[in-house]
């Protein structure tokens, strides 16, 4: 699946609330939107690398989405809304 927006690697620091995570990006702490409220938090550990995508929308409070994280030898998509698009492309 192609992501057209800016993508950056960050370090997961912790989950703040139901839909937000604290990450370290470029030496600064940032808040990233985490669109998955399920048990996915059990897969995250502090210090883990994650991939963020920048969302330039002036209506949003949070400008980064957490969308990929490594698990075993692969990358896991953190956004359950993308499942249909991924399956269609496959």
Domain map (residue ranges) of the chain = 7-89
Structure tokens at 10: 């960050």
**pTM of the predicted model, to two decimals?**
0.77
**What would be the CATH architecture of the domain defined by 7-89?**
Beta Barrel (2.40)
By three-state DSSP, how is residue 78 classified? Answer: coil
Tokens representing 74 are 């692969």
Indicate the pLDDT class of residue 28, thresholds 50, 70 and 90: very high
pLDDT of residue 74: 75
The arithmetic mean of pLDDT across residues 50-76, rounded, is 84
Dist CA 28 CA 35 (whole Å): 22
């Amino acid at each position: 699946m192609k992501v057209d927006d800016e993508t950056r690697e960050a370090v997961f620091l912790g989950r703040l609330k139901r839909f937000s995570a604290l990450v370290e990006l470029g030496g600064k702490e940032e808040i990233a939107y985490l669109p998955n409220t399920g048990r996915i938090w059990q897969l995250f550990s502090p210090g883990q690398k994650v991939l963020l995508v920048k969302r330039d929308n002036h209506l949003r409070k949070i400008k980064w989405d957490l969308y990929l994280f490594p698990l075993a030898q692969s990358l896991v998509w953190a956004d359950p809304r993308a499942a249909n698009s991924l399956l269609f492309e496959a």
